[in-house]
Amino acid sequence: MSPTAADYVSKQEVPSAEVGTPFGRASRPKVVGPDAPEPPFPISLAGPVQKGFGRGGKDLGCPTANLPDESITAMSSVAKTGVYYGYAQVVPPEESKPKFRPQDLKVLPMVMSLGRNPFYKNKMLTAEIHIMHEFETDFYGHEMRAIVLGYIRPELDYVSREGLIEDIEIDKRVGLNCLQRQAYQTYAKDAHFEH
């Protein structure tokens, strides 16, 4: 088995991946993984959304919600660094629910980066979830629940921000395509989420 994200943290190493090997954008598949989740998936995560670096929305056009370190241990101990797909839901307290539209509180498709983001030279392992939905209000401090269902690709370093943005957009399309499979769609109704 490849080293897990927790292995990299314990050794204080950053996994290296050369840009473009063997992961040319032209050859990226539209769907990845088996027809149904296989171990270690599904992986359930939950925790209050924390402020991150603020780069996702501003710098990359892909706003992300960061989970606290303790909530990602379950995943980092069994999964390698990289990009994943699944479902997520924002679960605000009752008194905050009126700030949100009904569609904001649904279980929604997501892609997630688990790693150190070598392009930005991060030192800490983070789990950054991009829910594929346009929110009109932020949800810092509110609970987010997620189920990670599959792996898209390894964490890579990039020579340009444009290259990173291009791969993020492909990741989103791949994640949506993967979730179209029936065995994955059933997880949107999982008891981990609030219905």
CB contact at 8 A, 152 and 83: yes
pLDDT tens string for the chain (195 positions)?
Answer: 566 656 655 655 544 444 444 445 557 899 999 999 999 999 999 999 987 655 544 555 678 888 888 888 888 888 888 899 999 999 999 999 999 999 999 999 999 988 876 554 556 778 889 999 999 888 999 999 999 999 999 887 666 667 777 888 899 999 999 999 999 999 999 999 998
pLDDT per residue over 44-80, tens digit each? 999 999 876 555 445 556 788 888 888 888 888 888 8
CB contact at 8 A, 85 and 155: no
Q: Which two tokens stand for residue 108?
A: 């929604």
DSSP state of 42: -
How does DSSP assign 160-173, residue by residue? -HHHHHHHHHHHHH
What is the distance in angstroms between the CA of the first residue and the CA of the last residue of the chain? 36
What are 11's strand-pairing partners?
Answer: none
Query: pTM for the whole thing?
Result: 0.84
Q: Which two tokens stand for residue 33?
A: 């993984």
As annotated, the active-site residues are 128
Number of residues written out for the chain: 195
Which domains are delineated in the chain?
Answer: 41-193 (2.40.30.30)
Helix (H, G, I), strand (E, B) or coil at 193: coil
